Chain A
């Protein structure tokens, strides 16, 4: 079991561009959550996908959107990139939308740099 896999691992974009990050959950998991982790900060919840729908959303603007596919993999899209979007984007998978156990399995993240 490869666990949670994310791609790309690193990428550089310029302001105003758009980016798509991808995540494959741990085998057997059906729920994907996305987090933004700025340097020196804790993870900030962006949103969660379950059954191909956005179930919960953190305090992020509409420029941040996502998608979940029938195979449970997910994408995070960020439009009109700002310098402040530079961060490590973490994908976490779990079983069930309500995250009853609170145990998340994290990927290694995608490091986005916006110039």
Chain B
């Protein structure tokens, strides 16, 4: 079954501390993984995708196929990072169409 698991519903860290938001997935093929973010009173938006291997706002995420994980990391959290983070997997369904499968999200709170 295709599934995305974000084990932490809430993660609270202090400003300047490292942060890691966990994402594990279950998918039989070659997945494409994404992190979406929703800041307070803003719309859901793409943060980064694994195929681009880029760092956005200091965040990085590496796809680990052996551990089926795509954890989101930032070495020094900032207060403006406080938001809801969703991990999503793009996979093909029976009709060979892609759709996104979403985790339940992790709420990150960065405290001053």
Contact = CB atoms under 8 A, between A and B. Distances in A.
A41 B104 contact: yes
Contacts, number: 52
B43 interface: yes
Contacts of B46: 103-104
Contacts of A103: 34, 46, 49
Interface stretch (A11-19, A79-87, A105-113): A105-113
A98 B99 CA distance: 7
A107 B43 contact: yes
A90 B43 CA distance: 9
B33 to A, nearest CB: 8
A101 B99 CA distance: 10
Q: How many interface residues does chain A have, given as a range?
A: 20 to 34
A70 interface: no
B97 interface: yes
A102 B102 contact: no
A56 B34 contact: no
Interface in A31-85: 41-45, 48, 55-56
Contact of B103 (A3, A42, A105): A42
Interface stretch (B11-19, B57-65, B72-80, B87-95): B87-95
Given A56-B97, A102-B32, A102-B88, A43 B102 contact: yes
Given A56-B93, A104-B46, A107-B43, A99 B104 contact: no
Given A42-B105, A99-B90, A104-B46, A56 B95 contact: yes
B97 A98 contact: yes
Contacts of B102: 42-45
A6 B92 CA distance: 28
B44 A43 contact: yes
Interface of A: 3-4, 41-45, 48, 55-56, 90, 92, 97-109
